[in-house]
Chain A
Amino acid sequence: MTRGPLRIVVVHPDLLGTYGDGGNGLVLLRRATWRGYDATLVQAPSHEPLPPGDLYCLGGGEDGPQVRSATELIEDGRLVRAVEDGAVVFGVCAGFQLLGTTFPDARDQPRAGLGLLDLVTRKGPGPRAVGELTALIGADGPPSADGAPWPKLTGFENHGGVSTLGPGSRPLARVETGVGNGDGSGIEGAWSGRVVGTYLHGPVLARNPALADLLLSWAVGESLDPLDDHDEEALRAERLAAARSAS
């Protein structure tokens, strides 16, 4: 049985393409097609109007390209309208920061983000946060796709930004090991409606299939069949153990 169609859009891979975050789009595509959905993965370059989509992914990137991506997305206007129409958005690192209201450019001047999350990012005073991170999604996090308790989040963070949530958004998770948003709140990432952001690379959806399935279930509007995730489970067990022994 074919279900769908489902359009997954990787936003500006030419600008927000570092750190393997493009993998998140691929993970979503495969987890949809393996379940019989008629899913397509679209790479949306920055010089073209943003194509229609059900689920948008934004990856990490350097300071200059991040500013350019945000500028294009604000001028284009389609991403904000898509969210108003129910689209799902998932942002990582630079892509997370630009979903907020302001983020710093290379000269540490504040730049306008898309305002899809109530989040302010500034340059941190200390060294970059680099390393394995684990975090727990709790009662103020999004509900899991299958209603079961959330498994731990695992990923690799690498950022110099410090992000602070406003009242309009909620924490994605609470940091167990690592830095996360870095403003002293112990929070990692943010979510609001169907918009989710995190600092985690890995790519994070390959390391956390439950998070991938939450985004997919929002996008398709129904619960999902289980998949055989033994490769992912083995990786998760190893990474969680590595983070424990390092901390």
Chain B
Amino acid sequence: MPSIGDPGRSGASPVVTPIPMRTRVAALAVHGVNVLSRVSGRGSGTVAGGRVGLALDPAIIRNLTAGKTVALVSGTNGKTTTSRLLVAALGGGHDHSVAWNDTGANMPAGHVAALVHRPRARIAVLEVDESYLDHLLEVTRPEVVILLNLSRDQLDRVAEVRLLAERWRKAFEGQDGDGPVVVANADDPMVVWAAGPARRIWWVGAGQVWREDAVGCPACGGRIAFSADGWACDHCPFARPVCHGEVLDRELVLSDGSRHALTLGLPGAFNRSNAALVAVATEALYPGRSFDDALSAMAAVTNVAGRFAVVVRHGHPVRKLLAKNPAGWTAIFDLLDEVGQPDEPVVLSINARAADGTDPSWLWDVPFERLQGRSVVAAGDRCLDLAVRLRYAEVDHQVARDPLEALDLAMATAPPGGALTFLGNYTAFSDLGSRL
């Protein structure tokens, strides 16, 4: 594996950068607001405090990350899990050595809150909403950036896939100096297009089950053809780049021929892909640190903010899963096939609140046909949209708007003590978490 040489600020002794007075005052205010809003019971307070900090000092993120080793994680799916795995690989998680936005608040207010919450951290791992990546690249000057994937998500409020890819591309074009080491998924053509201008890229063949948003070539408008060997445009040289590492079944195989088992505490092929990207990013940050050390640190992670956790209700283990868009749901169906019984009951809960995107049309891009043969209960604010989708997928279903009621209906169809799965989109998942 080639070394990137000097890993920037990370390998040297920490640079002591004085924090400007304005930033200190703003950070104090963030603390104050967060304490107040937690006491008054209005949410976790992270975003509210962060907003105040940004208002008092618009340069607060730049100032709070100066002198820190910064890693950014972005992409449509897997940001929160990948950030958590990276924190584990870097030795953080239970102490204050790594600052990270552990609540999944991935816009600047959330970044401010994360940085203020762990002021003495030498490393910052920030999950970044796709539409803020260009901004965070500029203000944090990261050492490493992990790019996971780009697919359709909440089209009623966020820029479309191609516009996002162009914005990322411009941001990497505009980086001065060497810029960060970009660890990017070579199996997603939109990611490859977006990362292309970066000076230092480590490509990882991390796999991509969802290809519907990458059929048209972003370079020339030709057609991207996928094959067992990868993908290539039928019209121009744009093609899957040569990789430093590839995920092959349950191993990360590096270009030097070494093989590293991807044995994790989290289920699913997509989490093995996330872990592979993290292992390569860790190597980029700390050359010489062994892959297997990073991977065994990641293996200790068994849930991420409640995702992938198993809780017991009325004697039945309930696996809690979150997916927000067609690519995410498709990956979760792969996971169900991998870990559960083929007739295990499933509760699907769908909301369409602001944080979910208010148009659930995307349900028709999800291959619900794959649930045929299971007992399915449709729940959530938009259970009726889901019921119609399931009817046309010819999946037997019941409907119960309340997710707990839906779980009890599903349990009635399971054998005694039999497992079931709850799968919700963003707010549907957090609603259940607060009630179980």
Partners in one complex: yes
Contact with A along B138-170 (1 / 0, CB 8 A): 000000000000001001110010100000000
**Nearest opposing residue in chain A for B214, CB measure:** A14
1/0 per position for A14-43, CB-CB distance to B under 8 A?
A: 110111111100110010000000000000
- Select which of A26, A64, A65, A130 is within 8 A of B364 by beta carbon: A26
State how many angstroms separate the Cβ of A11 from the closest Cβ of chain B: 14
How many pairs of residues, A versus B, come closer than 8 Å at their CB atoms? 79
| B221 contacts partner chain A, Cβ-Cβ < 8 Å | yes
> B312 within 8 Å of A by Cβ?
no
Whether the Cβ atoms of B160 and A18 lie closer than 8 Å is yes
Stretch of B39-47, B95-103, B242-250, B387-395 on the interface side: B387-395
A232 near B216 (CB under 8 angstroms)? no
CB-CB nearest in chain B for A25:
B364
The interface bits of chain A over 142-180 (1 if a CB of B lies within 8 angstroms of the residue's CB, else 0) are 000000000000001010000000000000000000000
CB contact list, A169-221 vs B, under 8 A = 201-203, 206-207
Name the segment of B7-15, B30-38, B355-363, B423-431 touching the other chain: B355-363
Q: Does B338 contact A (CB under 8 A)?
A: no
CA distance A75 to B44 in the complex (A): 57
Q: When the two chains form the complex, which single residue of A30, A64, A130 contacts B216, counting CB atoms closer than 8 Å? A: A64
User: Which of A17, A19, A131, A231 lies in contact with B388, CB distance below 8 A?
Assistant: A231
Q: How many residues of B contact A (CB 8 A)?
A: 27
Contact A203 B156 (CB under 8 A): no
How far does the alpha carbon of A156 sit from the alpha carbon of B98 in the complex, in Å? 43
- Please count how many residues in chain A sit with their CB below 8 Å of the partner chain's CB atoms: 33
- In Å, the complex CA distance between A178 and B216 comes to 32
Residues of B within 8 A of A19 (CB): 155, 359, 361-362
Chain B residues near A156 (CB, 8 Å)? 156, 359, 361
* Chain A residues with CB under 8 A of B391: 231-232
**Interface contact A234-B387, CB-CB below 8 Å:** yes
* Cβ-based interface call for A3 (8 A): no
Is B215 an interface position by the 8 A CB rule? yes
B365 touches A22 (CB 8 A): yes
Q: Is B408 an interface residue (CB 8 A)?
A: no
Q: Please give, as numbers and ranges, the residues of chain B lying within 8 Å of A84 by CB-CB distance.
A: none
User: Does A47 count as interface, using CB distance less than 8 angstroms?
Assistant: yes
Collect the chain A residues with CB atoms within 8 Å of residue B358's CB.
Answer: 131
A206 to B382, CA, bound (A): 14
Report the bound CA distance from A13 to B365 in whole Å: 11
Q: Which residues of A contact B388 (CB under 8 A)?
A: 206-207, 231-232, 235
Complexed CA–CA distance, A26 and B393 (Å): 9
* Cα(A27)–Cα(B216), bound, Å: 26
A65 and B160 alpha carbons, distance in the complex (Å)? 12
> Is the CB–CB distance between B384 and A18 below 8 Å?
no
Residue A140 at the B interface, CB < 8 A? no
List CB contacts (< 8 Å) of A210-247 with chain B.
231-232, 234-235, 238
Complex interface: chain B residues within 8 A of A68 (CB): 216, 221
Residue of A13, A14, A17, A27 near B392 (CB, 8 A) is A27
Give the residues in chain B near A47, CB-CB below 8 Å.
223, 234
Q: How far is the CB of A105 from chain B (nearest CB, A)?
A: 12
Q: Determine whether the beta carbon of B223 is less than 8 Å from that of A231.
A: no
Are A20 and B365 in touch, CB under 8 angstroms?
yes
Chain B residues whose C-beta falls within 8 Å of the C-beta of A26 in the assembled complex: 364, 392
A130 with B156, Cβ < 8 A, contacts A17-B212, A203-B364 known: yes
Q: Does A76 contact B (CB under 8 A)?
A: no
Contacts from B to A (Cβ < 8 Å): 152, 155-157, 160, 162, 212, 215-216, 221, 223, 234, 358-359, 361-365, 384-385, 387-389, 391-392, 394
Interchain residue pairs with CB less than 8 A apart (21):
A13-B212, A14-B212, A17-B365, A18-B155, A19-B362, A20-B363, A23-B361, A23-B389, A46-B223, A47-B234, A130-B359, A131-B358, A156-B359, A158-B155, A202-B361, A203-B364, A206-B392, A231-B387, A234-B384, A235-B384, A238-B384
Closest A-B pairs by Cβ, 6 of them: A23-B364, A20-B364, A20-B361, A14-B215, A235-B384, A201-B361
